[in-house]
Structures are given as structure tokens and as C-alpha cells.
Amino acid sequence: MVNLVQIRTPSRTFATPFNHRVVGDHVLITNREGSFLLLSPGEFRQFAEGTVAKGDPLYTRLAQKNFVRAELDVDRMVERIQARKTFIHYGPNLHIMVVTLRCNETCVYCHASRADMGATHTDMTLEIADKTVDTIFRTTNPNVTIEFQGGEPLVAFPVIKHIVERAREVNKTAGKQLEFTMVSNLSLMDDEKLQYIVENKIQVCTSIDGPAHLHDKQRKLPGLSAHGSARTWIRRLNDAYRQMGLDPTLYHVEALLTTTRETLPLWKEVVDAYVELGCRALFLRPVDPFGFADRTAPRIEYPRAAYLDFYRNAVDYMVQLNGQGVEILERFAAIFLTKILGGTDPNFLDIRNPCGAAIGQVAYNYDGRVFTCDEGRMLHEMGDDTFLIGEVGKTSYRQLMEHETVRAMAIASNLEAQPDCVNCTYQPYCGVCPVHNHRTQGSIFGRMRESAMCSVHKGIQDYLFEKMARGEPDTLEVFRRWTTVRDRTHFLQACAT
């Protein structure tokens, strides 16, 4: 640990503006462009006091990363900041369509506030589907991803087919780069649906909460094993991609995990379950305070310090497996490492600055109501309409984008103006969620030093920088591979121009 009191007189002229944080036995420094260095306590003391002589190897390292005022390369700084903000003027590219709230599974943490299978009034009508597609294609973004969600979207599969055909028809004129994705528990899949999904290039994401006993306890499927059903169709889909000659490292079913209290001691079992299924990525997501999870929190919640212990154990194990030739990555780590090591933003909308609410994603409910994001829609189902910004067929695209709530969300998630973020060492790589702040702290601005989400983001980045500070070549190579972004061009629709 560095004792900052030992810094005699900090220099006001040597360094460019920087933030610092003790990480293990090192001091991490970052600047506005997102460059970083891990310094020993002695090196940091020299840097802070401005006593590093020109020609010293430390001076060269600092100057190359734009930490020395006399050597500041303004053009390079501007270029790096622009590379991190390429998304800012594009408009929403992710459009979430909730085609039904009906679901045949009952999940202990259900964020979507699912409805019973008999609640057919929560199915999206074809008229609303058409109006939604028309609204989507008014986006200024050249890329459009339509994501089908629920409830369980396979309940309303005819609506999905209609939307796919309608979107393709509209795109003949719009000329967007169009993709479709679907988030499904897969339990209602059959051969006909599978064939349609594969032939029409619909990417599939499902939920796997770990080994069968844990998954089935948290995701109830009456009379059947939810895990067994998901497992069967994951393999069927992946087999279909292989039969088409597609690279299995790129084309496979994605799967997500929701970490509950019972997950925490099972970090190895969780990773092994994903590896056994052939999944190449694992997203160790904490439980969120939306939907049914708000009511079941006494049973499923946990201190975030316990989550971070779980995270460290799981990712250590994943790094170890990679060293043995097993390809598996953790999504949080990959997102942060892409920003830290790659100098670019992978445009994961929940960890973006500003966040993706409305200016990166829009959520369309089954009844045509439009929300800034999926989390905002979740709050609507809990009785809170703070993030409702319009209705398809009644509210124009311009009115949606110029809504006062959209402006407020962009301001609240701008880390350069967030009081608890502006001086944070991780500001260049992080992002906040105003909806989460609103739900947990009563303000879209929130108080980051008291935020569970902030503690998770900081804890993960502490872990990553601690691992990098150790300088172990095998670990650094795994981290480098996790930043690699490879296009999956097969999923682009043929009608795109």
C-alpha cells in the first residue's frame, strides 16, 4: 500500500490531469483519454512530485501515455477520446420488442414480471408489431438489431415470424444492416421453430444458471426439467450451425447466468456446466432489483463483497482452463478489457458513457408503449412509469429522441459530470445505469459510493488490474484474446445494403 502522506509536495506542472487508485502492491493511474500505467509506490511518488528526469525510462513510459504535460500530444488525445465515443451520434441500434409477457417458466428472480400462460391479452398484435417496426426503421443508426423478448417469445412465435418478414420488407427501402436476436428459455422449441430460426438467421440467447440442480430450482418448468430442455436445444442449434459449415467459435447459442445467493459457492460447478454445454462465454451477472427479484430478495440477494469473491474464483478458474486449451471467457471482463486494452468501446449499452438509454436502445412493450430501455420497461410492469417516453403510432421518432426523460438520462449517465465518477480512476472504462439508481436510491443520478452496481464495477476492474500488475504472460495473453471482436457476418440479413 502506498502512503500518500509521504508525498512531500505534489507538482502542479509536471503531470497532465490524472486519477489514481491503489491496486494490490501498485498504484494505478489513468487519464481522460483512457491510457493507464501501473506504478510501484516509489514510481508514483516520483510522478506525483514531478521529480522524474527526462531520459529516465519512467519518464518515457509516462510521456508515451500522455501523462507528462511538457510532452502532451493533443492530437493523439483527441483521437483516443473519439475512438471511445464513436457511438455517440448514431442513434439507437438495439430495439427490444416484447412480443408477449406470457411465460411457461417461473423464475425466482424474474425481472420481466412474466404473466401466466392464459394471459393472451399480453400478446403483441400484428397491428402494433407493424407500427413498432415502422418506428424502429426511423432510427438514424445504419445498424438495426431487433431483439425478441418476453415473457417467453416462443409463446408468440407467429408474431416473431410476422415481424421478421415485415422488417425485411421495410429494409428493402431503408437499407439498414439488419440483425435479429431472440432471448428464450427454449422450452417451447420444436423442429419447425428451430428450422425457421436457423434458416432466417435469428441469433439465440438463453439462460443457464449452472448445474441442473441449481438451474431447475431457480427456473421452474412444470413437469419437466428446465435445464434438460435448454440443454437439448442448445445442442440442436449448435449442431445445426456446424452442419451449415459455420465456425463454432463464432456461431453458437449464447447463454446468460443470473447469480443468486445459492450460486455463490458453486463457482466451479457453474463454469464446468457452461464448458460441458459447449458455451464459449459466461456472463456472471448479479441479480437486479427489478420484477419478481424485488419481492424474493430476502431469499436470493447477498452482499456484493460476497459476489466479488465468487467472481474472482470463477474467473481465476476460467483463466486456468484457457491455459489448458479450453475456450471460455467472462463477458464483464471482456467488456472492460476491450476498453482498457483495446482503447475502444464495445458498445455494451449498460456500461457506456453516457449509457444507452434511448440513444442506444429502445424497448417496445407488447401494448405499443415505448421505454428508454428494457430496465425502464421492467419498472413499468412494477407500476413505475418514469421511463415511459411514448407509444408507437402516436409518438414520432423525433419526439421519442427529444423526450425530456431521454435528455435527463444522458445527463445523469455522463461520467464527466457525475459527482462520484468525475474523479474515479475507472471513469474512462465505466458506465452507470440511471434506472438502477432510480430504483435503488430514488434518483437517476444516484450516489455511486453507495451503489451496489458501482461496487461491482470497481471490484471487477480492481481484479483485472491486479492480475495485469502481476504480469504473468499466460494471463495477459488470455486477457488479450478476450478483447478480440470477430464479426459474425452470417447473421446479417441478405436484404441489408
Give yes or no for residue 495 having a pLDDT over 80.
no
Tell me if the domain spanning 89-497 has CATH number 3.20.20.70. Answer: yes
**How confident is the model at residue 111, as a pLDDT?**
85
Predicted confidence band of residue 480 (pLDDT cuts 50, 70, 90): very high
CA atoms within 13 A on the CB side of 14: 16
Question: pLDDT of 65-108, one tens digit each?
Answer: 999 999 999 999 999 999 999 998 899 999 999 999 999 999 99
Higher pLDDT, 237 or 89: 237
Q: How many percent of the chain have pLDDT more than 70?
A: 97
User: To the nearest whole number, what is the mean pLDDT of the chain?
Assistant: 94
Contact of 287 with 109, CB cutoff 8 Å: yes
Q: What's the CA gap between 344 and 483, in Å, rounded?
A: 10
Give yes or no for residue 61 having a pLDDT over 50.
yes
Predicted confidence band of residue 292 (pLDDT cuts 50, 70, 90): confident
Q: pTM for the whole thing?
A: 0.94
Give yes or no for residue 257 having a pLDDT over 70.
yes
- Residue 190 makes CB contacts below 8 A (sequence gap 6+) with none
CA atoms within 13 A on the CB side of 227: 17
Give the closest residue to 440 by CA, choosing from 431, 427, 428, 450: 450
Give yes or no for residue 385 having a pLDDT over 80.
yes
- Which residue(s) pair with 180 in the sheet? 146, 202
Contact of 328 with 271, CB cutoff 8 Å: yes
Give yes or no for residue 180 having a pLDDT over 80.
yes
Predicted confidence band of residue 6 (pLDDT cuts 50, 70, 90): confident
Look-up: residue for cell 529516465?
Answer: 56
Other C-beta atoms closer than 10 Å to the C-beta of 142 total 14
Look-up: residue for cell 426439467?
Answer: 225
**How confident is the model at residue 246, as a pLDDT?**
86
**How confident is the model at residue 113, as a pLDDT?**
83
Peptide linkage before 354 cis (omega within 30 of 0)? yes
Q: What is the DSSP string of 161-200?
A: HHHHHHHHHHHHHH--EEEEEEE---TT--HHHHHHHHHT
- Enter the C-alpha cell of residue 235: 445442442
Give yes or no for residue 112 having a pLDDT over 90.
no
- Enter the C-alpha cell of residue 87: 457511438
Q: What's the CA gap between 494 and 172, in Å, rounded?
A: 10
Question: pLDDT of 151-179, one tens digit each?
Answer: 999 999 999 999 999 999 999 999 999 99
Alpha carbon of 428 to those of 19, 366, 435, 467: distances in Å?
A: 10, 37, 21, 19
- Residue 293 makes CB contacts below 8 A (sequence gap 6+) with 108, 109, 110, 111, 287, 300
Contact of 452 with 431, CB cutoff 8 Å: no
Domain borders along the chain are 4-84, 89-497
Question: pLDDT of 297-355, one tens digit each?
Answer: 999 999 999 999 999 999 999 999 999 999 999 999 999 999 999 999 989 999 999 99
Contact of 425 with 30, CB cutoff 8 Å: yes
- Enter the C-alpha cell of residue 54: 527526462
R_g over Cα of the chain? 23
**How confident is the model at residue 475, as a pLDDT?**
97
**How confident is the model at residue 249, as a pLDDT?**
78
Query: Which amino acid, 218?
Result: Q
Give yes or no for residue 494 having a pLDDT over 70.
no
